[in-house]
Amino acid sequence: MYAVGIILKEIREETGVPLQEVQQNVGIDLTQLSRIENGKRLPTIEQIQRLAQFYNFDDTKLLIQRESDKIVSTLEYPEVAIEALKVAEDKIAYGSKYLSLFQDVIYQKPIALESRRYIGSKAKLSDWIMDLIETETENVQTFTDIFAGTATISARALSKYKKVIVNDFLYANNIIYKAFFGAGNWNKNKVSSIITSYNSLDPEALSENYFSENFGGKFYEYSVSKLIGHIRQDIEDMKYELTEKEYSILLATLIYNIDKLANTVGHFDAYIKKPIKPQPLRMRMIDAKDFENVEIHKEDANLLARNIKSDLVYIDPPYNSRQYCRFYHLYETLIKWDKPKLHGVALKPEPENMSAYCTVKARSRFEDLVRNLNTRYLVVSYNNTYNSKSNSSENKIRLEEIEEILNRCGDTKTFECSHRFFNTGKTEFNDHKELLFITKVDEARKNKSFPTLLCWG
Ligand SMILES: C[S@@+](CC[C@H](N)C(=O)[O-])C[C@H]1O[C@@H](n2cnc3c(N)ncnc32)[C@H](O)[C@@H]1O
């Protein structure tokens, strides 16, 4: 039964025109006309246009009815029809890009920890780093990733070592660790149905919010930013009906899904000043696991160093003036959700968690860190970006300084691996090298070479 025919019959009866008169004026066979009006035959586009003209009726409305009749008549599996129509809607709106954007949604694959864009992420180097650690160290039970960033190294350590301490002072990173690794109760069906409900939100029906007012049309397309703000507020409003693990999974899921839609080159120091192409926000859950052997901290590394005991500490601090809290300020604002006043073109909050490692104090902080760590092995990542022409990517600690400080702690081996790394185009490093130092701490040597208490600064 085609609805468009029934509508056509109603229009004709309303105007009081007999069928024969329609036939004479539009030139459609009488039997065909009657089958159309009985909903047994679908009129062609041309027939609709002729009939609409004759009745002086809006042909678009009739064509919409015809197209939907046609779609509905081809559906073969009614149980998934509504969902299929929603997907079809996205395919029409976003064209061929749809498939590449949503392949993972279709296959329901959870989002992996490594799939985040983060400057200095060791995701591509993790095999190299972990293999070296494995061959160069003995009897490691506790592993600490003290500047964890994306925690890609912690994730590898979790499957290998008895206990893993993960630390970073950024709010968003801390929520991500709790979500991906943290122990705690959570109900997968509950979290998954909340995410599904977010996926059926219509941004048009949502009102303006803190996120869309500040970031809409800048870091995110306007309707996506309305969704982000609405979802973030909803998670906060539900907080007391969620366990800490569920709350963290929902927030980390939000970050990981919006990461791909950001109108940036990978961080939030600036946005691309071109109109943003609309893209739908279809969220899929992160690959949340719960480990009993993880300890998660959100502390300044130098303070934490005084309070932990670990067999091995992996150290990967920032080495240049680029502050992570400024690069990822939008996620900090989103996670803290205290809706601060934002400043400047990049809409940053007041500075918080500025790292001394990005300043002239870097060397003394590094010295203070290794001096206070109670550990048998120090493993330090270092990239040789200090030859740079750009000031912001100039290293705050020189290679020789790291080597000298580590040698004061014990015998140090240096390993080298070339790789491509982050730069914004201003800096050219064809000879960029990634180095890894592994120091076997010699307590006697260390105590002798750090005799007095070092002051920060
Ligand atoms: C080079 S990144 C680490 C990258 C990480 N290894 C990875 O694979 O993603 C440095 C990290 O140190 C954090 N950080 C900087 N200064 C810190 C401090 N004083 N205490 C704790 N974390 C700090 C930053 O937030 C950033 O995430």
Domain assignment present for residue 158? The answer is yes
Domain shared by 162 and 13, yes or no:
no
Domain assignment present for residue 143? The answer is yes
For residue 327, the model assigns a pLDDT of: 95
**Predicted confidence (pLDDT) at residue 66 exceeds the cutoff of 60:** yes
Tens of pLDDT, residue by residue over 383-402, are 865 454 555 567 889 999 99
Domain shared by 368 and 445, yes or no:
yes
Domain shared by 174 and 101, yes or no:
no
Residue 153 Cα: closest atom of ligand 1: 8
Helix (H, G, I), strand (E, B) or coil at 365: helix
Domain shared by 176 and 317, yes or no:
yes
Domain shared by 307 and 402, yes or no:
yes
Tens of pLDDT, residue by residue over 114-149, are 999 999 999 999 999 999 999 999 999 999 999 999
Domain assignment present for residue 65? The answer is yes
pTM: 0.78
For residue 118, the model assigns a pLDDT of: 94
Domain assignment present for residue 369? The answer is yes
Lowest mean pLDDT among 127-136, 264-273, 336-345, 361-370: 264-273
Domain assignment present for residue 135? The answer is yes
Domain assignment present for residue 144? The answer is yes
SS3 breakdown of the chain: % helix, strand, coil, rounded to 5? 50, 10, 40
Query: For residue 11, what is the domain's CATH number?
Result: 1.10.260.40
E strand or H helix that includes residue 166:
strand 163-167
Q: What is the mean pLDDT of residues 305-309?
A: 97
Do 175 and 335 meet the contact criterion of CB atoms below 8 Å apart?
yes
Q: What is the mean pLDDT of residues 359-388?
A: 89
Which protein residues touch ligand 1 with a CB less than 6 Å away? Answer: 118, 120-122, 147-150, 152-153, 168-170, 173, 300-301, 316-318, 324, 355, 357
Q: Which residues span the domain enclosing 435?
A: 115-181+290-321+359-449
Query: For residue 426, what is the domain's CATH number?
Result: 3.40.50.150
| CA neighbor of 249 nearest in space, from 230, 264, 235, 270 | 235
Alpha-carbon distances, residue 358 vs 93, 216, 388, 396 (angstroms): 44, 30, 15, 7
Q: Which of 74, 95, 124 delimits the end of a domain?
A: 74
Q: Count of domains in the chain?
A: 3
Domain assignment present for residue 51? The answer is yes
Both tokens assigned to 100: 């590449």
For residue 153, the model assigns a pLDDT of: 98
- Residue among 126, 145, 147 to mutate when testing ligand 1 (max atoms within 8 A of CB): 147
Q: Give the number of other CB atoms < 10 A from CB of residue 60.
A: 10
Both tokens assigned to 86: 């929603």
Tens of pLDDT, residue by residue over 421-447, are 444 444 444 557 799 999 999 999 999
> In this structure, what DSSP letter does residue 274 have?
S
Domain shared by 143 and 13, yes or no:
no
Domain assignment present for residue 193? The answer is no
Beta-bridge partner residues of 375? 310
Residue nearest atom 17 of ligand 1, based on CA coordinates: 355
Do 142 and 158 meet the contact criterion of CB atoms below 8 Å apart?
no
Domain shared by 308 and 402, yes or no:
yes
